Amino acid sequence: MRIAIASDHAGFQLKEALRERLSSAGHDVADFGTYSEERCDYPDNAKPAASAVNEGEASVGLLVCGSGIGMCIAANRFPNVRAAVLQNEYDAEMSRRHNDANVACLGARTMDADRAQKLLEIFLNTPFEGGRHEARVKKLAGLP
């Protein structure tokens, strides 16, 4: 699976840990930065990663900042992106199962790498349920 990843300075260490784990698991990881803990603005790195998902160049995205919230807001500016902040197993599963989320947003200040990895695995391995949820997800594409 091709996964677009990005972080800001607060999420750099967690992004790096997850990038290594994803690569080791055989995923094709496209890293859109940041590449250090030097202060940067999260929209600058969220934009190219979310764009890759939006354009179909990546199957899913992973964005990491301090809380996950800023990256999520930035990613959801793209019409084909459905980003969700994952704080627990339920969020990870249901964002995929009912909302067909294609970008996982994690907070480096809210969890450690093992917890983040667990949530990401649930996210990546949970299929979209479709059915009654499909019409709802299709309506999202028509929103301004």
**Structure confidence by residue, pLDDT tens digits, 19-29:** 999 999 999 99
Where exactly are the structural domains of the chain? 2-141
The pLDDT tens digits of the residues spanning 26-53 come to: 999 999 999 999 999 999 999 999 999 9
Residues marked active site are found at 65, 98
DSSP state letter for 112: -
CATH superfamily of domain region 2-141: Sugar-phosphate isomerase, RpiB/LacA/LacB (3.40.1400.10)
Joined tokens for residue 80 = 């084909």
**Whether residue 34 has a cis bond before it, omega within 30° of 0:** yes
pTM of the model: 0.96
